[in-house]
Each structure stands twice: as C-alpha cells, then as structure tokens.
A and B are shown apart, each in its own frame.
Chain A
C-alpha cells in the first residue's frame, strides 16, 4: 500500500486498541455528521442570504443606472434642442432678448430642473444664463476646460464646489467648429438624492464615485459615510476594494456610459455576529459531541475489555493447570453467557481430569496387586512350612532353616501390607542371601551399613531384594566372593538407600536404560523394572532407580525416598 508513514502509524494506532477503534467509530457516527451537516447548513444559509443580497444589489444598481440614463439622455436632448433652436442661439450668440432666451431655456429643461440646474456660459466662463444663481466658472479648469478640449462630446464630470461635490454635464456650443460657449447642467447632492429617492433604505448606503474613487454623491448614515472614505483609502493602499468593511457588505458596479461607479453599503442580512454565533454554537456542539464520543468509547471499551481481561487471566490459570478457576460474572449479556460457558468448560475439564486420575489410580492398584501376586503363592508357603516342620522332626536342621527362610520371604511377599519397615526388608534380603549361599556354598556376603534410627523407617516392600537378586543373577559370574552392601543415609529431605556389589558391573547400555527409566526391553531385569515402577508410582516420577558402575568395580544402585512427604496412596 502506498500509504505514507503517518497514515500507517495512524492505522496501527487505531487497530492496536479496541478503545481507539470504538472512539473512531463513534466520532465517525456522531461528531462528523454533526459538524458536517452543521457547517454545510450554515454555509448554505450564508450563501443563500449572500445571493439574496447580490440580487437586491443588482436590482438597485439597475435602477440607479436606469434613472441616470434617463436624466442624462434628457439633458443631452435638451442641449441639442437648445443648440439648434434659432430663437435661443443663433449667429454665434444667444438670443439678444434675454427674456426670450430664458423662456426657451426653461421650456426645454422643463421636467429636468428638479434634477439639475442649467446654465449657459460664454467662451471665457462668464455665466450668461442660469436657472439658479449666475456663477462664473473658470474656463481653464474643470468641466469647461474638458468641454473645450472635446467640443463634440457631452462631458459628464464631478467637481468640488464650496466643499460640495457637484455632478456636471456640459456640452460646448459650436458654430462651425468654433466653440462659442457652453451649456452646463449641474446636479448637486440634493438633486441626486431626489433622482435616486427610494432606491436604498436608510439602513443602507449608496455612494457614487469616479474612477479615482472620489465621491460624486454619498447618502447614508454617518457610519456609512465614514466607511466610504475608508474604502477609498483601502483601494489606494491595497489596489482593490474589500467586499466587507466595518460590518457592511460592499458592492460596486460601473454606471454604463460614464466614468462613475455605484457602491452599495449594506448591513449583511446575516450579520457577522449571527454567523460567528452560529459557528460558535457549532464548535460547542462539536466539542460536546467529541466529549460524549470519548466518554462513550471509554465506557464501552471498559465494559468490553474488563470481562476480556478477566477471561484472559482465567485462561492463563487454566494453562498453568489450575482447573478450579471460575469467573465471577453477573452480567446477563453475551459476556455473561461467555463467562458461564467458560466456567462450565473448566468444571467439565476438572471433572474429566479427576476421572482420568481415578482410573489411572485403579489401574495402578491392579498393577501393584498383579506384581505382588507374582510372588504370592500361598500354596508354596504352606508347603514350605510343612517342609520346615518335617525337616525339624527329621533333625535335618539346614533344610528346616532353608525352608523357614524361604517361608519368611514368601510371607513378606504374600502380606497385603504394601509398606514394611527397612528392618523387615533387610531381613528379607538376608534370608534371600542365606538361601543362595546354601546353593552356592557361601559365595555371597551381604553387609549392612544402616544407622539404627532408620531401621523402623517404612518403605515399599520388596524394593531392595530384587536389586540384591539382580546382583547375584548377573554380577558375580566371574567373582569368587560376591559382596553386596546395603547402605542407608538420611539427609534432611530424603532417605538414600544404596545397594552396591563388587561384581562385574553393568553394561553402559543397561545403565542408561535404568537411569532413563526406559523399560521397553526389560528382559531379564523384571525385578529392577518392578522396583522402579513401585518407586515411581509411590513417590512420583522424580523417584526411581539410579544406577552406576563404581570405579573400583561393581555396581551401585541408589534409591531416593522423599522423607517429609506423607506417603501417598497413589
């Protein structure tokens, strides 16, 4: 993906946390629509009112243009009528009869005199006739100079007179290309007010300016007049007009066929205060929505993540083997069901494991019983007892002794008690050696090195005898005198029983098998296998046989019996 780094890390941030996911979703569902719709609505409202304003302005500007065009064309018509009227102007001069000239002037300008004063000037600016007071105009200045320079044109221009702007329309009077005088119509502020009456309300301002933004006419409140001069100064500083100035909307349009512009100043239908109030409200709504989103995301994520966390901890405990874990949850929703199911699952699991252990235990018991049964022929015992008594009565003491020892061995084996004292076990081993010595002419010797305090210690029966038997069976073939030593040591935690011989030692392979408790091939070593199994069944897998060859020759087999632990009946 061609995502940039920040986008990727943003995605990761969102995906990494459930809380962030929720937050983004809530924002997407509440904040964004509110803000989006809000801004769009304000914008549409603003645009619509703006359009409405533009419409109003265009209508007003059109009206201004229309009224000016009417008056300008009327004045132009009057000028040409007078120029061509022989009773007004003829033979390079105005009617010699002043009254006649005035009467023509008044007749021709009737209908326009509310909007302008009309005057006729001589070539040097002397006022000859005027519908108002006779006031000379300089011929080297202003409108007369313009008219003299372009005698074929009607000049429309604004001038300053006695601190007042006057809009003048002038035309040179020509007699065969020679300028002989001027006709001038002057529109003062009052005339223009009359002309433009009703176009703008008192709340609005109308401002007519020339191409240098000098005021030709201005109407409106004092406020509006101030803004007019501010507009001019802004145009000069920045080169253009702002569309909004000091709470007024500003509109400008050129008046056709003139060098004048109409500027409208209008309080916006939607004032800036209203607009910024709306935006403020939107920001407030947006902020509230964001706050709510954060709160909701927090609450929801907490209500999701708490049970998940509980579940997680419980799962870990189960992993560690603790099946008694239960989740306390009173919720009625899916999380409640999930917790309930989890509890049910662990309970089932617990039951299953217990059952399995139970089965295993039973199996072990049967195994032990079977093992002991191998050495449990009652019949043999009774027969031996009979032999003993028969030998005694026949004064065959060795036979009686032999059969008595054998019977003792058998009794110990037959006894259902699985544990006997170390002393009893040692006696068993001694009996066994005695019997073998009778067979092999005293080839074997059994030594004990056991502290008195340990003789009463209880151990599983028949764990030493099979080791001794193993030594005799396999260890002493090439040995003249087989010596077996049974040693017992006590440490703080365990009893160590060591059976050593001076035989030929065990093959390495066998040692490895014993130490790894690998009894797949137990041929010939069934005795050792039994001992190992009994130990491990009784004391756990940490227990069992440990065999090694001594450096001085012979084998040493060690049994560790945990001391402190109560002997469990596993």
Chain B
C-alpha cells in the first residue's frame, strides 16, 4: 500500500497540482503581443489645449522624433491640479501663463533652443515657461443686427447705453476669460477700477452667460448683440458661421499668451525638452498661423494675411495677477 502510495499517488497529486497551475496560467491576459515601445522614447504630456490643436502637433512630433506621446487633456485648472497631485507627467502644454505663477514649485526651468527667436514682453527670462501662442481679445458683433460702423471700436464703447443688456458676457466665477476682460476694463478705462467694474456690470443688466464658450453662439443667434472674445475663437467661428463680425479695438487690445513648462523631476526630461523646442519651432508656429487662427510668438513667422497687425494696449500682467481677486470682489459688490 505504502509503495503504491509513493509510486503513484504522490506523483498523481503533483501532476494535478501542475495541471491546475497551468490552467490558471492559460487564462487570458497573460501573454503579451510582440509590439513594444522603448520606454526611453515616450513622453507624457498634460494639455489644456483642444484636441484639434495638440493632435496635429503631437503626431508630427512623434513622426519626426520617434517619441511616443501620451496626452492627458482637460481644463487648465484641472490639469494643473492633477500634476500638482503627483500625476505622472513630463510637461504641461497649454494654459495661460498668468496661471503658471501659482504652480511655480512644479516647474523645472528650461530655456528652449530657439528662445531667441521668440520676442514677447511676456517671455520668461529664467525659462520658467515657454510661450506657445499669442491670444489677443477682439470685439465681436452680430452683423445682421448691428451695423459695422455702430459696433464698438474702443473699450469704453461698451459703456454706451445702447448695449445695456445686449452684451454677451460669461459669469467671471466660471470663466477665467471673463476675469481678464474685467481686468482689461479696469486697466484701460480711465475712470478708476471700481467705477469701471460698476459701470460695465450695470451695462450687462444682469444678463450673464454660463461660460465663455456661449459668447459667440449668443451673438450668432441674436440673443446678444456685442461681446468680447479671443481672436482665435472668433476667427474659427467666422469660418463656419456668417453672422458674426470681428473688430480689432482701436485703442489697443489685451493679450495673455499661453505656454508650456517642464515638470520638476519628470521621467522623460530629454524628450520633454525636445517637445518644448518643437512647440516654438518655425514649423509649428507657422501651422498655428496657417491652420489654427493663432498668432505666433516668433519674430520670423508672418501673421496670417487674414489678420491685421495688432495694436497692443499697455496691460501689466503682474498687476493683473495681483488684482484678480480684487476684480472678483469688485464684481461681487457691483452685483449685490
């Protein structure tokens, strides 16, 4: 009996165990398909750009460098917070540079290769960020309901009584763009900051849009007559819709550029640097102008023939940053 045990049963048990082990292994998801990407040739980009902006740039970057890029896209604040909370990210692509200030401890300074080709008073000399595109505000109006000669040409034209309740404006509590517009009024109208907010707020007559994305549809449909929008958004809208007209402010406009920055202690630093270099390369900057209705930050890229030379107002970005909170509280006081 014990010999039989030793000879047959113990091996049998062993076989049973092996077989059950084997069948556990053969359950799916074990084997990998022979396709691999060199882990050194990857890059993780967090972007607040829209897909139509980042996709062509990233795909061209992949083709030219052989680096595979993973994109995590979302709203600027959302993406920045994800990075702050320790998301595995190599660089931030997109977002107004005024927002980067609060996240300076996430930033790894880097001066892009062709930084000398970029000329902007907003450039970071220490390489805290690298500019990507220039995004000036323009005035927009409904071409059917407003004659072009009657449309606002200067910032204080919005204070005219004829626009009371007819201005498309998003709630500044929801829209960073709206805060910048408030700051522009405070800075450019020579009537005192508080007065400027109060006067503009009165002009709205309580009509507020949910988000800045609603500004152009509101004017297109005639719900509002005039408004202020980013040039990029307005140009793209007019490509596809007929009823919105664009006016470049005569007394100068405000522009807050967007940019990119390297993230501290990122895993693919070299690739991230290559990407930042690429974002200000002549090819990308030309594409911005040719296909994306944006303005280049490079001196050697001609603006699109469709867009006029722009007249920048004297707008202090540092002041704007410091005053953001105050602008909101002035707004709240005016709307009590």
Contact = CB atoms under 8 A, between A and B. Distances in A.
A232 B70 contact: yes
Interface string A3-22: 00001001100110000010
A24 interface: yes
25 contacts: A14-B5, A24-B9, A28-B13, A35-B19, A36-B12, A39-B20, A43-B26, A138-B287, A141-B283, A141-B286, A142-B60, A161-B56, A162-B52, A212-B66, A235-B35, A236-B68, A239-B38, A240-B32, A240-B33, A240-B36, A240-B37, A241-B32, A243-B33, A244-B29, A252-B35
B290 A138 contact: yes
Contact of A251 (B2, B33, B63): B33
Given A11-B6, A39-B20, A141-B287, A163 B26 contact: no
A236 B16 contact: no
Interface residues of A, number: 60
B271 to A, nearest CB: 12
Contacts of B147: none
A140 to B, nearest CB: 5
Interface in A268-285: 268, 272, 275-276, 279
B305 interface: no
B269 interface: no
Interface in B264-308: 282-283, 286-287, 290-291
A233 interface: yes
B6 A243 contact: no
A261 B22 contact: no
Contact of A243 (B29, B44, B56, B282): B29
A201 B44 CA distance: 34
Nearest to B286: A140
Contact of A39 (B19, B52, B287): B19
A11 B60 CA distance: 69
A32 interface: yes
A11 B66 CA distance: 62
A496 B269 CA distance: 118
A40 B10 CA distance: 19
A13 to B, nearest CB: 11
Contact of A28 (B9, B42, B51, B283): B9
B19 to A, nearest CB: 5
Given A24-B5, A210-B63, A213-B37, 8 more contacts: A15-B1, A36-B16, A43-B26, A141-B287, A142-B56, A235-B37, A236-B44, A236-B68
Interface string B182-196: 000000000000000
A42 B24 CA distance: 11
From A163, A212, A261, residue with most partner B Cβ within 10 Å? A212
A212 B69 contact: yes
Interface in A43-83: 43, 46-47
A501 interface: no
A268 B28 contact: yes
Nearest to A209: B35
Contact of A163 (B9, B10, B13, B55): B55
A214 interface: yes
A25 interface: yes
B16 A138 contact: no
A160 interface: yes
Per DSSP, chain B at the interface is helix
A242 interface: yes
A138 B57 CA distance: 13
A389 to B, nearest CB: 92
B310 interface: no
A236 B43 CA distance: 8
Contacts of A213: 37, 68
A251 B31 CA distance: 11
B42 A236 contact: yes
A130 B28 CA distance: 49
A464 interface: no
Contact of B23 (A14, A42, A233): A42
Given A157-B63, A272-B28, A40 B287 contact: no
Interface string B46-70: 0000011001100110110011111
**Which of B9, B19, B37, B66: most chain A Cβ within 10 A?**
B37
A159 interface: yes
Nearest to A233: B70
A426 interface: no
Contact of B56 (A160, A232, A240): A160
A27 B9 CA distance: 9
Contact of A160 (B22, B55, B283): B55
B319 interface: no
Contacts of A32: 12-13, 15-16
Contacts of A241: 32-33, 35
A23 to B, nearest CB: 11
A239 B40 CA distance: 10
Contacts of B283: 138, 140-141, 145
Interface in B121-158: none
Contacts of A162: 52
Contacts of A39: 19-20, 22-23
A101 interface: no
Given A40-B19, A243-B28, A250-B33, A11 B5 contact: yes
A249 interface: yes
B289 to A, nearest CB: 10
A230 to B, nearest CB: 11
A328 to B, nearest CB: 30
Given A160-B55, A232-B70, A236-B44, A35 B6 contact: no
B9 to A, nearest CB: 4
A161 B60 CA distance: 12
Given A36-B16, A214-B62, A261 B35 contact: yes
Nearest to A1: B6
Contacts of A142: 56, 60
B20 A160 contact: no
Among B44, B62, B63, B283, max chain A CB count under 10 A is at: B63
Contacts of B63: 146, 157, 210, 212
B161 interface: no
Contact of A138 (B15, B30, B35, B286): B286
Contacts of A245: 29
B206 interface: no
Contact of A25 (B9, B19, B59): B9
Contacts of B36: 235, 239-240
Contacts of B56: 141-142, 159-161
